[in-house]
């Protein structure tokens, strides 16, 4: 991915993070996905008093992309305080749409600590039903 596109993806993740609804954990997360055609889809975490109903930022972004007709994701940028990687459930969901995708982990407190990996490294043996 070129540098301009990467910066746009990172900026989208950081911007949407500020809109997260996280009154319980105070842990705001923003995610931005890059579809195969170059479009960017963003999402933030949305917590709920019934904590199991909380929706992660990555899954909100996936829902937006799929709702717009996109099912091939080539990269994701995730912005958190500390630069944390997606949870296991989000790794599995992301793998459905791009098992080899690039993953950019942004430390919102210190963007110089941003690092890049791949979903294959984060989830080396994703579950597959074999249906696709």
Domains of the chain: 3-131 (3.40.140.10)
Q: Quick one: average pLDDT of 2-8? A: 95
- Per-residue pLDDT reduced to its tens digit, 92-129: 999 999 988 999 999 999 999 999 999 999 999 888 87
Residue 2 labelled as part of a binding site: no
The overall longest dimension of the chain from CA atoms, in Å, is 41
Residue 44 labelled as part of a binding site: no
Q: Of these residues, 3, 58, 96, 125, which one is catalytic?
A: 58
The candidate with the shortest Cα–Cα distance to 73, out of 46, 39, 24, 112, is 39
pTM of the model: 0.94
Residue 18 labelled as part of a binding site: no
Chain-wide mean pLDDT for the chain? 95
Give the 3-state DSSP-derived string for 41-54, with helices as H, strands as E and coil as C.
Answer: EEEECECCCCHHHC
pLDDT tier for residue 23 given thresholds of 50, 70 and 90 = very high
102 part of the active site: no
């Amino acid at each position: 991915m070129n540098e301009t596109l990467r910066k746009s993806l990172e900026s989208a993740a950081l911007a949407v993070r500020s809109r997260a609804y996280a009154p319980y954990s105070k842990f705001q997360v923003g995610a931005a996905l890059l579809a195969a055609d170059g479009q960017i889809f963003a999402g933030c975490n949305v917590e709920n008093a019934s904590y199991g109903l909380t929706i992660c930022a990555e899954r909100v972004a996936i829902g937006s992309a799929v709702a717009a007709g996109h099912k091939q994701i080539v990269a994701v940028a995730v912005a958190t305080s500390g630069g944390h990687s997606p949870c296991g459930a989000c790794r599995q969901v992301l793998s459905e749409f791009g098992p080899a995708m690039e993953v950019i982990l942004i430390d919102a407190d210190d963007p110089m600590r941003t690092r890049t990996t791949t979903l294959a490294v984060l989830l080396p043996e994703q579950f597959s039903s074999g249906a696709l």
